[in-house]
Amino acid sequence: MAKTQTVLQTDSMTMRFGGVTAVFQLNLDIREHQIVALIGPNGAGKTTAFNMITGVYTPTEGDVIYTAPGKESVKITGKLPSDIAKMGIARTFQNIRLFKDLSVYENVMIAKHLHLKSNFLSAALHLPWYNKEQRAMAADVEKLLRSVDLWELRDEKASSLPYGKQRRLEIVRALATNPKILLLDEPAAGMNPKETEELTEFIRQIRDEYKLTIFMIEHHMDLVMEISDWIYVLDFGMLIAEGTPAEIQNNSRVIEAYLGVDEDAEG
């Protein structure tokens, strides 16, 4: 794997719930502009790891360290999710969390407001700088929706979209916050093979077009193996392997723990 700048690190990140250790001393090194996957059986601690990185949980022990391009590394351990999002780390969820009664356009515009500089009074009085900022945001939303082939659906209710389009909209809404790192929690969940294939190309497209680093949890192994630059494997909250897709596919411990395949089986 090419040595590029580290943008996200976890240092012995641990999460305990009472007497249960969900994640134990997890060390990750996510590098700029790469697509990195976190895989493992159900209950392995993958979403817990995402929740610690994005501020939903505060780690019991250890730290999360973020290095925005061109800036010094900072510990973001225990910061509020909204503050972490403003710093440039966005995420989606396993269960789609769109505003289902709002339009495609409105869902994305709401996300743009994360970086709104005007205050409530400016908005209420429609002061010039607020109007200018609104026009700029509207232009950004249009450009974003056009770039991902959702502009023609801008007035449709989010709930009326086909499942694959809803997934795409949720990712686009995260993109609207101008992230440097995008965390995707099982983006292919519930998708048919054609939708999964389209999603694979879409993830590549947004990584390249928006110069993103993408970190994803995914059970769909075809997608993971095709698209990932680097893969981490969790089992019972512990990191059991990391490497390229080829290395992970041939790792006997991963085969035993995650794929549930006899090590002597063919393939």
**Token pair of 150 as six digits:** 């959702």
Residue 17 near residue 59, CB atoms below 8 Å = no
pTM over cut 0.75:
yes
pLDDT tens for the chain, residues 1 to 267: 446 799 999 999 999 999 999 999 999 999 999 999 999 988 899 999 999 999 999 999 999 999 988 889 999 999 999 899 989 999 988 777 788 889 999 999 888 765 555 444 454 445 565 667 777 788 888 988 988 889 999 999 999 998 888 888 999 989 988 899 999 999 998 888 888 898 999 999 999 999 999 999 998 888 999 999 999 999 999 999 999 999 999 888 888 876 554 434 333
Q: Tell me how far apart the alpha carbons of residues 213 and 183 are, in angstroms, rounded to a whole number.
A: 9
Residue 41 near residue 64, CB atoms below 8 Å = no
For the chain, list the domains and their CATH numbers: 6-98+168-259 (3.40.50.300)
Please state whether beta strands 181-185 and 89-91 pair in parallel, antiparallel, or not at all (unpaired). Answer: parallel
